Amino acid sequence: MAHRAENPEGERFQTRKLAGGAAWDEALPPNVKLRLRWLGQAGFLIETRDARILIDPYLSDSLAEKYRGKPYPHRRMAPAPVAPEALGRIDLYFATHSHTDHLDPGTVAPIAALCPDCRFIVPAAGAGVARERGVPASRLLVADAFAAMSVGGVGIYPIPSAHEELTIDEAGHHRFLGYILSVAGVNLYHSGDCVPYPGLAENLAPFDIDIGLLPINGRDERRRAAGIPGNFTLEEAASLADASHFHGMIGHHFGMFDFNTIDPAEARAWLENRRLPGMRVAEIGLAYEIMAP
């Protein structure tokens, strides 16, 4: 696999180790346009000068409570890196679909209570679930594939995702979405749970993606037989990033549940051996930053 010659490190895309105990709402350095911080699993905090955005945060133990005593008890492999209450102001909260590790009642409800101006964007197919889990109806905005939106100065373009399959509800809405966000002059793509499907690269082609956030925990027959649909392998994610000319990619969706993860050290070694400098494997405690000109 050939990767585009441009090296996104340096002036455009940097990775920085945060000081121990760094606040989750600390101000952006003056030379940074956008900062990403991984929350574990598929969750990210996105910060610009004007907007603070959450995508797919899972910061509770609600799944462990749901599956206690079951064959897959969904116990966290590590504690949540932050409590919802410690995140500070949140302006927009995105869920890519209604699986609990992406639309978590234990995270939604505190954010809704603490951030009265926060608006919640969820797929139209999951709107009812979102309301049941604590999203205030007055602040709920529904997204649909290929229907562009603009909320609080953030451009939003949803595209379908295939959580092993493209799935459409009875009303014709895609159950799984990815979001292309245009904010602070940066184009960011979060695929949600997804595997390669015909047309995905074409859906991304019109956008100059600065950073792609892609799940890399893979899939197999054991998980499929247990009703656990999978995601990209790391090689598939890197191939999509290359084919779609992403300037950078961060792989995520691992390290949460022991039955549905990968070894991040092996993943990092795979990238390093192939000399793919713009691609990263997510790590708690790092800031991923797009630098100002």
Q: Cα–Cα distance between 56 and 99 in angstroms, integer? A: 10
In terms of Cα–Cα distance, which of 39, 72, 66 is closest to 257?
72
State the pLDDT at residue 26. Answer: 87
Q: Residue 154 is encoded by which pair of tokens? A: 């953030």
DSSP assignment of 132-182 equals HTT--GGGEEEE-TT--EEETTEEEEEEE--SSS--B-TTS-BSSEEEEEE
Helix (H) or strand (E) holding 123: strand 119-123
Query: Could you tell me where the beta strands, DSSP code E, fall in 163-282?
Result: 177-183, 186-190, 211-215, 249-252, 279-281
- All domains in the chain, ordered by first residue: 13-291 (3.60.15.10)
Q: Given phi > 0 = left and psi -120 to 50 = alpha, else beta, which region is 10?
A: left
SS3 content of the chain, % helix, strand, coil (to 5): 20, 25, 55
Q: Beta strands 249-252 and 211-215: pairing type? A: parallel
3 state DSSP class of 286: strand
Per-residue pLDDT of the chain in tens (293 residues, 90 and over written 9): 333 334 444 458 899 998 877 789 888 989 999 999 999 999 999 999 999 999 999 999 999 999 999 999 999 999 999 999 999 999 999 999 999 999 999 999 999 999 999 999 999 999 999 999 999 999 999 999 999 999 999 999 999 999 999 999 999 999 999 999 999 999 999 999 999 999 999 999 999 999 999 999 999 999 999 999 999 999 999 999 999 999 999 999 999 999 999 999 999 999 999 988 899 999 999 999 999 88
State the pLDDT at residue 3. Answer: 35
pTM of the model: 0.95
What are the φ/ψ torsions at residue 46 (nearest 5 degrees)?
A: -115, 125
